[in-house]
Amino acid sequence: MAIRPILIAGDPRLSAPAVAVTEFDSELAAFVDTLFETNTAARGAGLAANQIGDPRAVFVYDLMADGVRHRGYVVNPVLETSEIPETMPDPDDDIEGCLSVPGEWYPTGRADWAKVTGVDVEGNPVAVEGTGYLARCLQHETDHLIGHLYLDRLIGRNQRAARKMIKANGWTEPGRSWLPGQDVDPFHG
Q: Indicate which CATH number applies to the domain containing 48.
A: 3.90.45.10
pLDDT of residue 189: 65
Distances (CA, A) of 109 to 46, 97, 123, 150: 18, 12, 32, 9
Q: Tell me what the mean pLDDT of segment 77-90 comes to.
A: 91
129 is catalytic: no
Q: Tell me what the mean pLDDT of segment 47-66 comes to.
A: 97
- Start-end of H helices in the chain: 26-42, 132-145, 156-169
Domain that holds residue 76: 6-177
Q: Tell me what the mean pLDDT of segment 75-104 comes to.
A: 92
Is residue 121 included in any domain, yes or no? yes
Is residue 46 included in any domain, yes or no? yes
pLDDT confidence tier of residue 48, bands split at 50, 70 and 90: very high
Is residue 58 included in any domain, yes or no? yes
Q: Is 98 annotated as a binding residue?
A: yes
Is residue 66 included in any domain, yes or no? yes
Is residue 183 included in any domain, yes or no? no
Where do the DSSP E strands lie in the chain? 6-7, 46-48, 58-65, 68-81, 95-97, 105-107, 113-119, 125-131, 177-178
Is residue 189 included in any domain, yes or no? no
* Identified catalytic residue from 37, 96, 104, 141: 141
Q: Is 144 annotated as a binding residue?
A: yes
- The number of folded domains in the chain is 1
Is residue 187 included in any domain, yes or no? no
Position 93 pLDDT exceeds 90: no
Provide the CB-side half-sphere exposure for 62 (13 A, CA).
15
Is residue 96 included in any domain, yes or no? yes
Q: Is 70 annotated as a binding residue?
A: no
